[in-house]
Amino acid sequence: MLSQAMAQRIEHWKLADLTPYPKNPRRHSDAQIARIAGSIAAFGFNAPILIDSRGNIIAGGGRYRASLKLCLETVPVIVLDHLSETEKRAYLLADNKLAELSSFDDDLLREELAGLRDADIDLGALGFDDSELAVLLAEAEGPVADTDADEEEIQEVPAEPISRAADIWCIAGHRLACGDCRDRDVVHRLFDGARANLVITSPPYASQREYDPESGFTPVPPDEYSGWFRPAAENIAAVLAPDGSYCLNIKPHADEGERTLYVMDLVIAHKRQWGWRFVDEFCWRKTDEGVPGGWPNRFKNAWEGVYHFCRQPQIKFRPTAVGHVSEDCFDYNAQNPKSRSGSGLLGAGARGSAAGQRSVVRQMRTGTSRASRAPATSSKSRRRQGKVRTPHRSRAR
């Protein structure tokens, strides 16, 4: 059955006889079409367009548009005459979506790019933009040794500042603006028509700290924070590439023994009011004590939230590039001999069988939590005592 569904031959059709599918939800930017055209010019037309017997394009809309750009008269096609009308529509989506599920091994990618560059292959024809190539090839070269052994001398702060509001400094290929990121004019002058693939912002706290009055920032009441931040989110949306990501790092402070909610309000506003997609939440672990430590009336966490937003489902994201090997990172089981924590919640000594521990139970009372060994009691006795003891292994979550 499968052999009957395999393409038997490649045909050459006139480009004028092909018709794009009008309901194809896949969108190709002009920049992407230019790259596809560059690839065809450099390597040939090696991936035929998939059509039905009437010339309707099922897959290969980007190659079709690139062919128009190259003024080709004929193109290679494969006729899929074994699909029903419904199957054609389904395959169109599958062909686009399945390609998104793969990812690069960045180490091998860097190695291949460096080798092709040394072989005088035009890397611009591979589909990577200049910024991606710059990063990948720089990492392939490895760190550059610092030939200047002398530490750079830090000059005294001048009485009359050199940098002023609205200045834009160009530093080794980077651009730095002196101004308010909520100011649309400042942001647009900084980007000068360019788009950001990744935006990371860590805005000031609402009213948790006192800031230098000369900075121009006045602490914002928590219930006004989302409104204050909205212009910054709008500016990010204006300069972010369609497949780009935006990460917001901020942590709410605690007041009178409880966390304030303005950061939750801010995250919800991004999603429900401002049209952002909430991809996920990450933890920035700030200390070696990732497990919460104790305050008189609550646990105190040792991390800050990083909230990941984007504008469309398809984004550039390489999880393997930002991951690292970690042993027992998430195994905070008190019975695990290799588990480590310096926070005091699990202690810093040996674990499990290494410490000669046996089964542990947790006793819960109003306002307290402690691990202890206790004999089993009947449910009737437990109800009479007004507390519950659950035999299990103590685990920090």
Kindly state whether residue 154 falls inside one of the protein's structural domains.
no
Q: In sequence order, what are the residues at sequence separation of 6 or more whose Cβ sits closer than 8 angstroms to the Cβ of residue 60? A: 47, 48, 49, 50, 51
Rounded to 5 degrees, what angle do the CA atoms 179, 134, 113 make?
Answer: 160
361 and 389 inside one domain: yes
What pLDDT digit, counting tens, does each position of 33-81 carry?
Answer: 888 988 898 889 999 999 999 999 999 999 999 999 899 999 999 998 8
More confident position, 212 or 84: 84
Confirm if 229 and 203 have CB atoms less than 8 A apart.
yes
Kindly state whether residue 365 falls inside one of the protein's structural domains.
yes
Confirm if 237 and 198 have CB atoms less than 8 A apart.
no
Kindly state whether residue 241 falls inside one of the protein's structural domains.
yes
Confirm if 103 and 320 have CB atoms less than 8 A apart.
yes
More confident position, 150 or 182: 182
211 and 315 inside one domain: yes
* Parent domain of 371: 331-397
Rounded distance, CA 315 to CA 113, Å?
22
Kindly state whether residue 66 falls inside one of the protein's structural domains.
yes
State the residue for tokens 């690069």: 104
Residue 168's Cβ-side half-sphere holds a number of Cα atoms within 13 Å equal to 12
Domain harbouring 294, CATH code: 3.40.50.150
12 and 69 inside one domain: yes
CA distances from residue 329 to 76, 286, 304, 325, 332 in whole angstroms, order as listed: 52, 14, 17, 9, 8
* Total structural domains within the chain: 5
Residue 311, pLDDT > 90, answer yes
Q: In sequence order, what are the residues at sequence separation of 6 or more whose Cβ sits closer than 8 angstroms to the Cβ of residue 89? A: 23
Residue 54 has a CB neighbour count (10 Å cut-off) of: 10
Kindly state whether residue 202 falls inside one of the protein's structural domains.
yes
93 and 21 inside one domain: yes
pLDDT at 17: 94
Q: In sequence order, what are the residues at sequence separation of 6 or more whose Cβ sits closer than 8 angstroms to the Cβ of residue 330? A: none
Enter the DSSP assignment of 154.
Answer: P
Among the candidates 285, 319, 353, a domain finishes at 319
391 and 304 inside one domain: no
Confirm if 344 and 294 have CB atoms less than 8 A apart.
yes
pLDDT at 78: 93
Kindly state whether residue 242 falls inside one of the protein's structural domains.
yes
pLDDT at 272: 95
The partner residues of 300 in beta bridges, in order of sequence, read 293
210 and 251 inside one domain: yes
Burial of residue 381 (CB within 10 Å: 0-12, 13-18, 19+) is: exposed
Rounded distance, CA 174 to CA 157, Å?
23
Helical ranges in 119-224 per DSSP H: 130-141, 184-191
Rounded distance, CA 93 to CA 76, Å?
21
313 and 238 inside one domain: yes
pLDDT at 249: 95
